[in-house]
Amino acid sequence: MHEGPQIELKLISDPMYLCGARELVGCIARRIGFDDMDCSKITLAVDEALSNIIRHGYNKSFDKPIWIGITPIKPSAESIGGIIITIDDEAKQVDPCTMKGRELEDVRPGGLGVHIIREVMDEVRYEKRAKVGMRMIMTKRAVRPEESPRLSDTGSGNRSDQEQGACKVTSVCKKSSKSLPR
Amino acid sequence: MAREQSAFITVEKPEQGIVVIVPSTDIDMSRSPELRTAIRQEMGGGVHKMIVDLEDVHYMDSSGLATLVEAMRNAGKSDTKLVICKMNQKVSAIFEIARLDSFFSIVDTRDEAVSL
| All structural domains of chain A | 7-175 (3.30.565.10)
Q: Looking at residues B73-99, what average pLDDT do you find?
A: 93
Encode pLDDT of B13-52 as tens digits: 999 999 999 999 999 999 999 999 999 999 988 899 999 9
Domains of chain B: 2-115 (3.30.750.24)
**pLDDT in the model for residue B33:** 94
Residue A127 in 3-state DSSP?
strand
Cβ atoms of A105 and A117 within 8 Å: the answer is no
Label residue A149 by pLDDT band (50, 70, 90): low
**pLDDT in the model for residue A77:** 74
Name the E strands within chain A: 7-12, 65-73, 82-89, 123-128, 134-141, 170-175
Contacts with A105 (C-beta within 8 Å, 6 or more apart), sequence order: none
Contacts with A41 (C-beta within 8 Å, 6 or more apart), sequence order: A120, A121, A140, A154, B93
Residue B75 in 3-state DSSP?
helix
**pLDDT in the model for residue A93:** 93
Q: Looking at residues B103-111, what average pLDDT do you find?
A: 95
Say if residue A155's pLDDT is above 60.
no
Identify residues of B whose CB sits under 8 angstroms from chain A CBs: 26, 28-30, 59, 61-63, 65-67, 69-70, 73, 89-90, 92-94, 96-100, 103
CB contact under 8 A, B93 and A109: no
* Distance, CA of A27 to CA of B79 (rounded, Å): 44
Encode pLDDT of A57-106 as tens digits: 999 999 999 999 999 998 877 677 899 999 999 999 999 888 877 666 66
Would you state the torsion angle of the CA atoms of residues A81, A140, A124, B66, taken in this order, to the nearest 10 degrees?
170
**pLDDT in the model for residue A101:** 72
Range with the poorest average pLDDT among A38-42, A102-106, B69-73, B98-102: A102-106
The alpha-carbon gap from B68 to the nearest alpha carbon of chain A, in Å, equals 8
* Distance, CA of A10 to CA of A87 (rounded, Å): 10
pTM: 0.83
Of A77, A82, A78, A99, residue with least CA distance to A31 = A82
